[in-house]
Amino acid sequence: MKIKEIAELVGGEIVGAPSDDEYEVVKAFASDLMSDVLRFSMDETVLITGLCNNQTMRTSEMADLRVVLIGRDKQPDAEMLELAEDSGITIIKSKYSIFKISGILYAAGIQPLY
C-alpha cells in the first residue's frame, strides 16, 4: 500500500520528509517502546506509535524506517520535523487512537510483523 493511501485511510496529514510515491508498505508494527522497534527488521514496514519526540525519529532512523504514523493527535515539534527531513522519514499524523489506526490498516490488508 502506498504512503498516501495509508494517510487517507487514517484521516492523516503528511509531514516530515515528502512521501515517496513508489514506496510500498506491506507490514505495520505498533509500539511506544523504542527498544522493541530496534529488535526487528523494519523493511516495508510502517511504525505506528503514540510516542512523539526526538527519540521517535532517532530510533526510526536507526531502524531504517521510511514512514512513521503518529496517532492520538500528537503534534511533532519543529526539531522533530527537521530530524525527519534529514533522515528522509515521512510522518503521517492522525487524530485516531493507535487501536483504531491498527484496526483500519489491518482490515485494509496491512500485515502484522508477527
Partner 1 sequence: MHYTFDIERGNFTDAGQASSSVKRTLKQLGVDPANIKRTVVALFEAEINAVAHAYGGKIDVDIDGEKIVMVVADEGPGIPNLDLAMQEGWSTASAKVREMGYGAGMGLPNIKKNTDDLKIDTKVGVGTTVTMTVYLT
Question: At closest approach, how far in Å is the CB of 89 from partner 1?
Answer: 12
Nearer to partner 1, 54 or 111 (CB): 54
Nearer to partner 1, 20 or 61 (CB): 61
* 73 near partner 1 (CB under 8 A): no
* 88 near partner 1 (CB under 8 A): no
The stretch among 16-24, 49-57, 68-76, 102-110 that binds partner 1 (CB under 8 A) is 49-57
As a whole number of angstroms, the distance between CA 52 and CA 74 comes to 6
Closest CA to 61 of 106, 91, 25, 31: 91
Q: Is 56 left (phi over 0), alpha (psi -120 to 50) or beta?
A: alpha
* 98 near partner 1 (CB under 8 A): no
78-108 CB burial, b ≥16 within 10 A, e <16: eebbebbbebebbbbbbebebeebbebbeee
Candidate residues 48, 51, 69, 91; the one interacting with partner 1 per rule CB under 8 A:
51
Q: What are phi and psi of 110, to 5 degrees?
A: -70, 135
Site for partner 1 in 3-32 (CB under 8 A): 32
Residues of this chain that interact with partner 1 (CB under 8 A) are 32-36, 38-39, 51, 53-56, 58-59, 61-64, 79, 87
